[in-house]
């Protein structure tokens, strides 16, 4: 858009979210990647593309079609209609999602409490839209926060209040304090959003005992928890995974947000929400929150593409509904990359008495490592990194909901090879060394 172009509207006349950094953040980061296509990208949190298989997509579709006919007893024309016609708002793979959650997570879910969505992103939007009833409502979110959540909250005019993450993944003293502070100000905290497993961007995880305490605090403070879990399967060791909050939730405190983007295919754009909270209607009838979310969904995306759902359903069926089983190759590649990245950082940034420290997190799994540097990291530095050094990463400032300078950047290991990690880290080390020299001089 050029300044001389005739104008019919201004952003100021549109929804206030459209001028907000939370909404422009993802586009900006994509634009930087497009500007420097030859750069090594340690920025993208995308799954590894070499595992994508077009032929498997056709097979998954056939597998799900056979399931409809052979297992569920649909006549051929019914099965064809289910796959190709407008369909059930809450989706057609809800029973397989419920089975997946039982097999992989030990969560017992009534399939009627599941809404299949257009990615987890739509699930977040539906939940926030439903919870935002009036101007006193606020959402708490553990900071740093996934920017897709902050953007969705903006679109429904729901302010986001940060809660400290701390060393345990969520600071429970701060959580209770924020709830009380909001209530004392006449506000109504509707929920707290968090990622207990390998959070984006921090990489932090919450241990089992702390999850239990978090549920106790949520009960004491009468607060819902929004548990977002796109990375939980990618744990880096062979020990047992901690139970999800939803698996520990005996009081229907947890709304569980799921994504198949990292465990099956991002291009299918399928996610889901488990919302078993009981909601009383104006006529006194009680039903799951999922039904209210479906009502909103019917006015946003009508239903999630049944073809895309069938691809996910077929993949689930081919692995006994276990995404753990379906992702052994992926998990070992991500684990290898994470170890390679951490070892590479250790080699390139040894502690030196004459040099300010560069530090990094060592997550137990997932895609992300946060590197802390002795200078503020902003979009201009990222642009220079892409142009002059050929390496991309994500400024951590994008994950904080204020304008304070942040001295950290996020590296992602998911879409690269170990060789690319080496090249990317060499370039990042050169950038950091030059930046320190520039600032010292
Ligand atoms: C924490 C988190 N939640 C949700 C999403 C969005 O998932 P989907 O692609 O299913 O919309 C992402 C994607 O990167 C994410 O990192």
Centre of ligand 1 to C-alpha 85, Å, is: 27
- CA 282 to ligand 1 centroid distance, Å: 34
Q: How far is the CA of 116 from the centre of ligand 1 (A)?
A: 14
What is the average per-residue pLDDT within 140-154?
A: 97
Query: How much distance in Å is there from the Cα of 121 to the middle of ligand 1?
Result: 6
Q: Is 264 in the pocket of ligand 1 (CB under 6 A)?
A: no
Closest atom of ligand 1 to 146 CA is 1
pLDDT at 2 over 70: no
Q: Which token pair is 177?
A: 């304090």
CA atoms within 13 Å, Cβ hemisphere of 299: 8
Structure-block tokens of residue 278:
């009981």
Kindly report, residue by residue over 195-232, the tens digit of the pLDDT. 999 999 999 999 999 999 999 999 999 999 999 999 99
Is the C-beta atom of 122 inside 6 A of ligand 1?
Answer: no
pTM of the shown model: 0.97
Residue 329, classified by CB atoms within 10 Å of its CB into exposed (0-12), middle (13-18) or buried (19+), is: exposed
For range 386-405, the mean pLDDT: 95
Establish whether residue 368 lines the binding site of ligand 1, counting it when its CB lies within 6 angstroms of any ligand atom. no
Tens of pLDDT, residue by residue over 267-292, are: 999 999 999 999 998 899 999 999 99
The pLDDT confidence band at residue 5, using thresholds 50, 70 and 90, is: confident
148, 205, 260, best to mutate for ligand 1 pocket (most atoms within 8 Å of CB) = 148
**Tens of pLDDT, residues 339-374:** 999 999 999 999 887 777 899 999 999 999 999 999
Q: Which residues contact 403 (CB under 8 A, 6 or more apart)?
A: none
Residue 137: name the closest of 104, 182, 98 by CA: 182
Mean pLDDT score of the chain = 96
Residues of the chain with pLDDT > 70, as a percent, come to: 99
Q: How many angstroms does the Cα of residue 230 sit away from the middle of ligand 1? A: 6
pLDDT in tens, 68-96: 999 999 999 999 999 999 999 999 999 99
């Amino acid at each position: 858009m050029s300044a001389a172009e005739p104008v019919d509207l201004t952003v100021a006349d549109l929804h206030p979210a459209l001028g907000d950094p939370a909404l422009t953040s993802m586009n900006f980061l994509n634009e930087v990647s497009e500007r420097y296509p030859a750069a090594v990208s340690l920025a993208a949190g995308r799954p590894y593309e070499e595992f994508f298989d077009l032929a498997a997509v056709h097979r998954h579709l056939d597998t799900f079609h056979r399931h409809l006919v052979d297992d569920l007893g649909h006549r051929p024309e019914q099965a064809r209609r289910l796959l190709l016609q407008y369909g059930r708002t809450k989706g057609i793979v809800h029973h397989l999602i419920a089975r997946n959650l039982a097999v992989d997570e030990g969560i017992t879910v009534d399939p009627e409490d599941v809404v299949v969505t257009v990615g987890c992103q739509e699930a977040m939007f539906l939940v926030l839209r439903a919870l935002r009833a009036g101007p006193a409502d606020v959402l708490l979110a553990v900071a740093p926060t996934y920017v897709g959540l902050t953007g969705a909250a903006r679109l429904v005019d729901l302010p986001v209040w940060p809660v400290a993450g701390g060393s345990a993944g969520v600071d429970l003293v701060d959580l209770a304090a924020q709830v009380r502070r909001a209530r004392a100000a006449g506000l109504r905290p509707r929920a707290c959003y968090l990622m207990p497993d390998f959070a984006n961007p921090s990489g932090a995880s919450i241990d089992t005992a702390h999850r239990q305490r978090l549920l106790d605090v949520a009960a004491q403070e009468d607060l819902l928890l929004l548990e977002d879990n796109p990375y939980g399967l990618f744990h880096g060791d062979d020990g047992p995974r901690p139970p999800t909050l939803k698996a520990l939730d005996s009081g229907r405190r947890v709304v569980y947000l799921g994504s198949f983007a990292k465990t099956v295919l991002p291009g299918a754009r399928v996610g889901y929400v488990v919302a078993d909270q009981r909601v009383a209607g104006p006529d006194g009838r009680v039903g799951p929150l999922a039904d209210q979310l479906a009502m909103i969904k019917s006015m946003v995306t009508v239903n999630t593409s049944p073809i895309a759902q069938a691809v996910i359903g077929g993949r689930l069926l081919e692995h006994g509904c276990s995404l753990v089983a379906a992702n052994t190759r992926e998990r070992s590649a991500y684990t290898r990359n994470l170890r390679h990245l951490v070892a590479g950082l250790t080699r390139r940034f040894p502690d030196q008495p004459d040099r300010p420290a560069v530090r990094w997190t060592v997550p137990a799994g997932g895609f992300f490592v946060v590197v802390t540097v002795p200078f503020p990291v902003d979009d201009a530095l990222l642009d220079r990194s892409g142009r002059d050094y050929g390496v991309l990463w994500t400024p951590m400032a994008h994950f904080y909901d204020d304008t304070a300078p942040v001295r950290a950047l996020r590296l992602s290991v998911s879409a690269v090879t170990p060789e690319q990690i080496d090249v990317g880290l060499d370039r990042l080390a050169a950038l950091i060394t030059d930046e320190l020299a520039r600032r010292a001089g």
